[in-house]
Chains A and B, each alone.
Chain A
């Protein structure tokens, strides 16, 4: 099978602005990951093509990029799931500065993640020689949010992010849920106050882009709605 891919290229040392470059590949298998295609180009056609990747099976979150208009992980997309009659269009994740080609500056993304205090906050000391108790039902309520791999696909797919760079964004909210709904956490208002403001959860207009794009298939909007409910109930 032969395919064509169009990749947005940008090298700040050479280019004034990003441009598309097309690559043709012959004899590729429909079972290939899109990451395999990028490697094939980098290793055999163009060593300057630049992208991040590591685990290659959807756990490390390195290779988030825009594929045919949708944010995805290159290692979790198989060619057979794409329309190959037209060139596959690959661009960096939106709403973040491009460092080079498909590599974006994620420092803003991580600073928003840090803002919501992404760690367990406790006031009661734990028992000295044993674990704190938690029912399995309560533990499992955290598992979907704990699946998040911080790839940035959701936050950068959100129109609220595009229109306001201060918006904390869905990935950080998901982490806020992970702790706010942990029966062991005692942060209370300390964390909720951070997300209860105009750049916080209220800027989520349930557009559902985050759910559409999440490579781990997390229902992010539902988690945000639970945070909104909890904030509303404390105000009443």
Chain B
């Protein structure tokens, strides 16, 4: 079956929904998602969305841009960062106008709180001198992502957006550098449809499920990044994967930085506030890459606490904040601690350990969300990407907390606008290949495979190995071992067999297809990590512990290249922020 639309958006998280709201009414638009829109992973974001509104204290967007550049360890493209931070103020006010129920300050304006890496100059006359934490994160208790997702979904319903929920995209149709649509199957019936479109936006989120301990939902399998990579198009900066410092021990469930923004502190087994040794000025509110490395260093030096599962953790203490603050501002995360670990956060500290959280890298895109075909800046006609699956690059080597919710609304809207412009002259390009047959063939080959390998087993091995060999600390020996392991896993993937052979809601089949996507994402990550011989942002090489600005101020563009990945480089865009040593 073929359906024609002007634009198809893949993914119904914040970026996809915000783009959908922006598509002009005269164009037909459909949003495809493998889950119902309100199930999307945006909903699990907790702490806030940053904008220099200055509602609590003086602040300006240049402060926000400086912090984002520094937080990115100077790998973010500074023109894109300026675009985002300047637009943040309008974007957050727009969310309020759309109905988002923000927490409020005493004046009835949007309330703001402190967050890791967000600072301003201690002396306004010395903009590059000592910096102090600033209240910049706009929030709704600790459910900011949840209410943002709900608000955007509600606005889509108001605008009568066409949804195809529970559709799994199997193929991105790009011919002669023109994107012509996607192929997908309806999960409930197994029926394959080709969505023939003039423009396609990928807003498919991250791929945290390549790691064993992750805050990411089970659906976070990097489907969009894998589709692009397998099409011979590049992925950018995939070696930069953020580990959030405070995942709930054993489970990896996110415990928002808001806990520290409100005054929570990290302690080692001796009860010491160890962050004062790693980041003397901002301490617990240092950026995530630094706090995660500090936690692992404490554990390696014997100051962690051994858990019953054999892994080590440290403690996040919010008990001194009092029951009122905890109940009003951190209800959700303290609820997780109670439910899953039986810990009462008003009385005792919460066991935490770093958890794989966010892909800074992804599908290379410019500030108008047009997908890049190469490191020279050429674009793929009709293909757009926004949100975590994209790399603009506003997060560079390390994303600051709250900048993901900002990214999705700023670039979701920009992508929607750019598509609206593009559609004024775009036409349906004829599809020369046979995508419907290709997808049917792909599904049939998984269903009919009678090999001995099991999907869950390969996936678990991948996740454990990635955690061990390509996690917070990396080195050449481990990464080379991971390359070999990936080769082995890809080979074994050819011999998988699944038990469910049906067409109705076949989640066995979906897990198999998702594993293929995870393997593609892992490959790009590992080869990128092996190739980057420096330590920058979230990418830490034990064998190259220093940042190398002479060679490292470049984005990696990785191409699948028929199974032997090839990496090309693109210089970072610098406007006015010269790389400095990154101290907090």
**Beyond A59-B43, A59-B44, A60-B43, is A146–B99 a contact (Cβ under 8 Å)?**
no
When the two chains form their complex, are residues B188 and A146 in contact, meaning their CB atoms are under 8 A apart? no
Cβ of B27 < 8 Å from any Cβ of A? Answer: no
Contacts of B98 in A (CB 8 A): 120
Cβ of A134 < 8 Å from any Cβ of B? Answer: yes
Stretch at the interface among B260-268, B484-492, B502-510, B525-533: B502-510
Give B497's nearest chain A residue, CB to CB: A47
When the two chains form their complex, are residues B339 and A182 in contact, meaning their CB atoms are under 8 A apart? no
When the two chains form their complex, are residues B104 and A11 in contact, meaning their CB atoms are under 8 A apart? no
- A44-B580 Cα distance, complex, nearest whole Å: 52
When the two chains form their complex, are residues B143 and A146 in contact, meaning their CB atoms are under 8 A apart? yes
When the two chains form their complex, are residues A62 and B35 in contact, meaning their CB atoms are under 8 A apart? yes
When the two chains form their complex, are residues B499 and A47 in contact, meaning their CB atoms are under 8 A apart? yes
When the two chains form their complex, are residues B499 and A57 in contact, meaning their CB atoms are under 8 A apart? no
> Chain B 75-106 against A: per-residue CB contact (8 Å), 1 yes, 0 no?
00000000000000010110011110111111
**Beyond A54-B41, A60-B43, is A143–B101 a contact (Cβ under 8 Å)?**
yes
CB distance from B404 to the nearest CB of A (A): 16
Cβ of A61 < 8 Å from any Cβ of B? Answer: yes
- A178-B158 Cα distance, complex, nearest whole Å: 16
Cβ of A53 < 8 Å from any Cβ of B? Answer: yes
Cβ of B39 < 8 Å from any Cβ of A? Answer: yes
When the two chains form their complex, are residues A50 and B39 in contact, meaning their CB atoms are under 8 A apart? no
- A119-B188 Cα distance, complex, nearest whole Å: 28
When the two chains form their complex, are residues A100 and B505 in contact, meaning their CB atoms are under 8 A apart? yes
Name the interface residues of B340-377: CB closer than 8 Å to any CB of A: 340
Partner of B507, one of A50, A57, A131, A146: A50
**Beyond A55-B41, A59-B44, is A143–B504 a contact (Cβ under 8 Å)?**
no
When the two chains form their complex, are residues B108 and A57 in contact, meaning their CB atoms are under 8 A apart? no
Cβ of B107 < 8 Å from any Cβ of A? Answer: yes
Give A183's nearest chain B residue, CB to CB: B108
- A124-B108 Cα distance, complex, nearest whole Å: 18
- A106-B146 Cα distance, complex, nearest whole Å: 20
Partner of A54, one of B39, B103, B157, B456: B39
Cβ of B479 < 8 Å from any Cβ of A? Answer: no
When the two chains form their complex, are residues B502 and A11 in contact, meaning their CB atoms are under 8 A apart? yes
Partner of A139, one of B101, B219, B454: B101
Cβ of B538 < 8 Å from any Cβ of A? Answer: no
When the two chains form their complex, are residues A119 and B155 in contact, meaning their CB atoms are under 8 A apart? yes
Majority SS of interface residues in chain A?
Answer: loop
When the two chains form their complex, are residues B505 and A99 in contact, meaning their CB atoms are under 8 A apart? yes
> Chain A 92-112 against B: per-residue CB contact (8 Å), 1 yes, 0 no?
000000011001011000100
When the two chains form their complex, are residues A135 and B504 in contact, meaning their CB atoms are under 8 A apart? no
Give A43's nearest chain B residue, CB to CB: B456
- A62-B92 Cα distance, complex, nearest whole Å: 28
When the two chains form their complex, are residues A136 and B104 in contact, meaning their CB atoms are under 8 A apart? yes
**Beyond A131-B96, A136-B103, A146-B147, is A13–B505 a contact (Cβ under 8 Å)?**
no
- A59-B332 Cα distance, complex, nearest whole Å: 9
When the two chains form their complex, are residues A78 and B93 in contact, meaning their CB atoms are under 8 A apart? no
When the two chains form their complex, are residues A119 and B158 in contact, meaning their CB atoms are under 8 A apart? yes
> Chain B 37-48 against A: per-residue CB contact (8 Å), 1 yes, 0 no?
011110110000
CB distance from A95 to the nearest CB of B (A): 18
Cβ of B278 < 8 Å from any Cβ of A? Answer: no
Partner of A55, one of B44, B99, B101, B340: B44
Contacts of A99 in B (CB 8 A): 188, 504-505
Name the interface residues of A110-149: CB closer than 8 Å to any CB of B: 110, 114, 117-120, 126, 129-136, 138-140, 142-143, 146-147, 149
CB distance from B86 to the nearest CB of A (A): 13
Contacts of A149 in B (CB 8 A): 38, 43, 146
- A185-B92 Cα distance, complex, nearest whole Å: 18
When the two chains form their complex, are residues B97 and A61 in contact, meaning their CB atoms are under 8 A apart? no
Name the interface residues of A38-71: CB closer than 8 Å to any CB of B: 42-44, 46-48, 50-62
Question: A-B contact count, CB below 8 Å?
Answer: 157
> Chain B 122-140 against A: per-residue CB contact (8 Å), 1 yes, 0 no?
0000000000000000001
- A61-B44 Cα distance, complex, nearest whole Å: 11
Contacts of A33 in B (CB 8 A): 340
When the two chains form their complex, are residues A47 and B502 in contact, meaning their CB atoms are under 8 A apart? no
- A13-B188 Cα distance, complex, nearest whole Å: 12
- A185-B98 Cα distance, complex, nearest whole Å: 11
Give A46's nearest chain B residue, CB to CB: B499
CB distance from B185 to the nearest CB of A (A): 15
Cβ of B36 < 8 Å from any Cβ of A? Answer: yes
When the two chains form their complex, are residues A47 and B99 in contact, meaning their CB atoms are under 8 A apart? no
When the two chains form their complex, are residues A142 and B340 in contact, meaning their CB atoms are under 8 A apart? no
When the two chains form their complex, are residues A136 and B218 in contact, meaning their CB atoms are under 8 A apart? no
Give B219's nearest chain A residue, CB to CB: A54
Partner of B253, one of A12, A57, A134: A57
The CB with the most chain B CB atoms within 10 A, among A43, A55, A120, A130, is that of A55
When the two chains form their complex, are residues A57 and B101 in contact, meaning their CB atoms are under 8 A apart? no
Contacts of A5 in B (CB 8 A): none
When the two chains form their complex, are residues A129 and B155 in contact, meaning their CB atoms are under 8 A apart? no
Contacts of B96 in A (CB 8 A): 126, 131-132
Contacts of A57 in B (CB 8 A): 44, 251, 253, 336, 340
Cβ of A150 < 8 Å from any Cβ of B? Answer: yes
Contacts of B566 in A (CB 8 A): none
CB distance from B325 to the nearest CB of A (A): 14
Cβ of A191 < 8 Å from any Cβ of B? Answer: no
A-B contact pairs, 14 of them (CB 8 A): A51-B507, A55-B39, A56-B253, A58-B339, A78-B339, A99-B505, A100-B504, A110-B36, A119-B155, A131-B109, A133-B104, A135-B108, A139-B103, A142-B101
A55-B217, A129-B93, A143-B140 known, 11 other contacts, Cβ within 8 Å = A33-B340, A54-B218, A60-B39, A60-B43, A60-B217, A78-B339, A99-B505, A114-B157, A140-B328, A149-B146, A182-B101
